[in-house]
């Protein structure tokens, strides 16, 4: 069976996970939908399997009439069994990445090894030194199978087909990851003909990360490149019927039998994506699960989000940044009863086992701080703060020299600076290792300032303490697949697992309407339609979430709806403790948004149920 390599190590070896028979059988059968009709005899096609494993793909290739097969396999313990089982196959027991670029094939098929670069840097650096293909296409934060795609493209004949089963992260990832070279290479040289989403299926039981996919690429001919030919992308989407857990192996086998027989079932959706090959962006996520009828609704929403024909996005109104990143959370976040004692409005901090009283200036430097778990729609849980942040503002004595600034800090805040000096050696070491200034050990590392571009093109650093303390703020969790946006106009400091929407300069932000929109079922639909999932990266939200242009609602009726939404949003901001009241008011807001955008809630419900197994209600 074909080897899938995961980051499991035993005795220094990389663990192997094998592809089930039913998957290999389908992938081979599926090829016949894409082999040109003029090819009447499969025996004339040259086939390559780059990671043979125990030979499950080879078995089904031979059963389906393919005979000119070359296969690579690194595991020498499999040599005898492979040669004995498949004597007609040309085996090469070596690393595929070192194969001859001049060796061309008509079909490349298999399950390439998966190994993340972040935790296996030595292996990747060794490959970069050893193999030219790796040196050419290495990018940080990538997976090993990226090289197998790159090299597969290089080794295909024009018109040839490449089909792999891999994780789907490379499809959904954006420009700040290892797809920087992969997606441009694919778009320059190939058509993406088919994408099969397997993210609802638990295929490789021993592997971490079950978001898998099967895809088919076809190498372009020179004429197709010159003429800029476009092709549609066929989508096969597996849908979890009960949506409660991953479907088991028996149901997986039934799904793949249905796929082979081209049977529609409650687990399968087949359609052409609203995105064609020419719509795919070179350095952005590919939202391929995008049916045309879903796009029609998205387009209708976007028509109310245009300004001078440009569709307005969240990034046109806000700078999105993390909350505070500290040198060391355990030192800078003081826990009451441990590092901090509060009695009769007096504050005492522990220094060398003794609690010492803070002066009034020092009390102002302690801020209640929250983690993202406290965030809820229209607000946050006031009582869920995790401690008191020791927050020195780097700009307070900014006009003074370094020595004088340090002296002024210690004179104004004697106890708090003495508290930090207990850990000075540790804090300095952290900053030095991060190649940052060790003299800054008193201050947060990130999140206390943002850089704004002024109208004259110059960048300005903006002090965020006034915003954290007493200004309108919208925030959301840095890992989330739901549109839950919190709000505060009072003091709200948060750790780095929270994102803040800081308004751009000279933008008149309508907080009440914007907050209601962000928390609406309309945006819930956009999250699903555009596959907006926040996983430490805010890129999709910035680039993909459209924001209404209020000037699009100029009629008396629609202005009235906007005003009513603002009023109801105000009510939720000021009364977000009663869950029943929140749900009741939110339902009214959602109904108003559907009316404002001229949308039918029933249609959206049906689309969410049909393609995403998610009811709108």
- Rounded Cα distance between 259 and 276, Å, is 22
In this prediction, residue 141 carries a pLDDT of 83
What percent of the chain shows pLDDT beyond 90? 74
Q: Is 353 exposed, middle or buried (0-12, 13-18, 19+ CB in 10 A)?
A: exposed
Q: Which residues pair with 235 in a beta bridge?
A: 195, 271
Residues 64, 87: contact at Cβ < 8 Å?
no
Query: Which of 144, 23, 45 is closest to 95 using CA atoms?
Result: 144
Q: pLDDT category, 486, cuts 50, 70, 90?
A: very high
Which contacts qualify for 405-412: CB closer than 8 Å, 24 or more apart? 406/439, 409/442, 412/361
Q: Is 447 left (phi over 0), alpha (psi -120 to 50) or beta?
A: left
In this prediction, residue 614 carries a pLDDT of 61
Torsion sign across C-alpha atoms 377, 383, 385, 391:
positive
* Joined tokens for residue 209: 């990360």
Q: pLDDT category, 240, cuts 50, 70, 90?
A: low
Q: Is 335 left (phi over 0), alpha (psi -120 to 50) or beta?
A: beta
Residue 162 has pLDDT above 90, yes or no: yes
In this prediction, residue 456 carries a pLDDT of 64
Instruction: Please tell me whether the overall predicted TM-score, pTM, comes out greater than 0.85 for this model.
Output: yes
Residue 231 has pLDDT above 60, yes or no: yes
The larger pLDDT score, comparing residue 57 to residue 245, is at: 57
Q: What are the backbone dihedrals phi and psi of residue 192, each rounded to the nearest 5 degrees, phi first?
A: -85, 110
- Rounded Cα distance between 273 and 511, Å, is 35
In this prediction, residue 114 carries a pLDDT of 86
Fold for 3-290, please state it: Rossmann fold (3.40.50)
Q: pLDDT category, 244, cuts 50, 70, 90?
A: very low
In this prediction, residue 426 carries a pLDDT of 97
Query: pLDDT tens for residues 7-22?
Result: 333 233 344 577 889 9
Which DSSP string corresponds to 349-411? Answer: EEETTEEEE--HHHHTTEEEEE-GGGEETTEE-GGG--EEEE---TTTTTTS-HHHHHHHHHH
In this prediction, residue 455 carries a pLDDT of 64
Task: Compute the residue count for the chain.
Answer: 617
In this prediction, residue 28 carries a pLDDT of 96
Q: Token match 């498949």: residue?
A: 86
Q: Which residues pair with 483 in a beta bridge?
A: none
The rounded mean pLDDT for the chain is 90
Identify the DSSP state of 279: G
- Rounded Cα distance between 153 and 179, Å, is 15
Query: Which of 4, 32, 36, 35 is closest to 17 using CA atoms?
Result: 4
Q: Strand, helix or coil at 87?
A: coil
What percent of the chain shows pLDDT beyond 70? 93
In this prediction, residue 209 carries a pLDDT of 53
Residues 6+ apart with CB under 8 A from 584: none
Max intra-chain CA distance, the chain = 89
Q: Token match 């059963």: residue?
A: 63
- Rounded Cα distance between 253 and 426, Å, is 55
- Rounded Cα distance between 31 and 107, Å, is 9
- Rounded Cα distance between 587 and 563, Å, is 16
* Joined tokens for residue 214: 């099967």
The DSSP element (H or E) to which 521 belongs, if any, is helix 521-529
Q: What are the backbone dihedrals phi and psi of residue 402, each rounded to the nearest 5 degrees, phi first?
A: -60, -45
The DSSP element (H or E) to which 356 belongs, if any, is strand 354-357
Query: pLDDT tens for residues 383-398?
Result: 999 999 999 999 998 8
In this prediction, residue 615 carries a pLDDT of 54
Query: Which of 65, 41, 152 is closest to 103 using CA atoms?
Result: 152
Domain ranges of the chain: 3-290, 294-312+509-617, 321-465
Residue 125 has pLDDT above 60, yes or no: yes
The larger pLDDT score, comparing residue 144 to residue 10, is at: 144
Query: pLDDT tens for residues 47-91?
Result: 999 999 999 999 999 999 999 999 999 998 999 999 999 999 999
Neighbours of 439 (CB within 10 A): 12
């Amino acid at each position: 069976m074909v080897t899938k390599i995961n980051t499991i190590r035993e005795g220094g070896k990389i663990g192997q996970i094998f592809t089930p028979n039913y998957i290999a059988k389908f992938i081979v059968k599926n090829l016949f939908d894409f082999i040109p009709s003029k090819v009447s005899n499969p025996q004339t096609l040259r086939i390559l399997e780059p990671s043979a494993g125990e030979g499950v793909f080879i078995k089904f290739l031979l059963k389906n009439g393919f005979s000119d097969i070359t296969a690579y396999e690194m595991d020498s313990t499999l040599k005898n069994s492979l040669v004995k089982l498949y004597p007609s196959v040309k085996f090469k027991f070596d690393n595929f990445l070192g194969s001859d670029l001049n060796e061309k094939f008509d079909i490349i098929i298999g399950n390439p090894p998966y190994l993340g670069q972040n935790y296996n840097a030595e292996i990747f650096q060794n490959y970069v030194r050893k193999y030219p293909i790796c040196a050419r296409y290495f990018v940080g934060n990538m997976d090993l199978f990226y090289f197998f795609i790159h090299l597969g493209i290089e080794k295909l004949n024009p018109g040839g087909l490449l089909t792999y089963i891999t994780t789907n992260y490379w499809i959904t990832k954006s420009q700040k990851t290892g797809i920087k070279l992969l997606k441009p290479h694919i778009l320059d040289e190939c058509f993406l003909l088919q994408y099969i989403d397997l993210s609802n299926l638990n295929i490789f039981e021993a592997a971490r990360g079950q978001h898998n996919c099967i895809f088919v690429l076809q190498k372009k001919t020179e004429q197709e490149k010159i003429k800029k030919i476009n092709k549609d992308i066929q989508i096969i989407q597996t849908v979890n019927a009960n949506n409660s857990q991953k479907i088991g192996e028996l149901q997986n086998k039934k799904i793949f039998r249905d796929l082979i027989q081209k049977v529609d079932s409650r687990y399968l959706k087949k359609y052409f994506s609203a995105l064609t090959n020419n719509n795919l962006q070179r350095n952005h996520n590919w939202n391929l699960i995008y049916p045309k009828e879903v796009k029609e609704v998205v387009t209708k929403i976007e028509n109310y989000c245009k300004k001078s024909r440009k569709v307005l996005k969240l990034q046109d109104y806000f700078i999105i940044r993390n909350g505070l990143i500290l040198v060391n959370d355990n030192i800078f976040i003081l826990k009451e009863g441990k590092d901090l004692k509060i009695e009769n409005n007096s504050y005492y901090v522990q220094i060398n086992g003794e609690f010492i009283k803070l002066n009034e200036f020092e009390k102002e430097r302690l801020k209640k701080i929250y983690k993202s778990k406290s965030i809820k729609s229209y607000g946050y849980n006031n009582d869920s703060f995790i401690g008191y942040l020791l927050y020195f503002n780097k700009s307070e004595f900014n006009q003074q020299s370094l020595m004088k600034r340090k002296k002024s800090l210690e004179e104004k805040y004697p106890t708090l600076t003495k508290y930090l000096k207990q850990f000075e050696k540790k804090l300095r070491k952290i900053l030095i290792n991060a190649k940052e200034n060790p003299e800054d050990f008193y201050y947060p590392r990130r999140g206390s300032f943002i850089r704004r571009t002024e109208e004259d093109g110059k960048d300005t650093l903006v002090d965020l303490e006034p915003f954290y303390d007493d200004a309108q703020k919208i925030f959301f969790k840095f890992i989330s697949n739901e549109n839950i946006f919190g709000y505060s106009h009072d003091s709200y400091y948060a750790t780095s697992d929270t994102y803040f929407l800081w308004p751009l300069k000279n933008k008149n932000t309508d907080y009440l309407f914007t907050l209601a929109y962000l928390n609406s079922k309309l945006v819930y639909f956009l999250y699903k339609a555009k596959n907006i999932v926040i996983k430490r990266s805010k890129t999709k939200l910035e680039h993909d979430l459209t924001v209404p242009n209020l000037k699009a609602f100029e009629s008396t009726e629609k202005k009235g709806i906007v005003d009513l939404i603002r009023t109801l949003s105000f009510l939720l901001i000021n009364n977000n403790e009663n869950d029943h009241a929140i749900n009741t008011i939110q339902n009214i807001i959602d109904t108003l948004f559907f009316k404002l955008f001229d949308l039918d809630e029933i249609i959206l419900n049906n689309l969410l149920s049909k393609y995403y197994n998610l009811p709108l209600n």
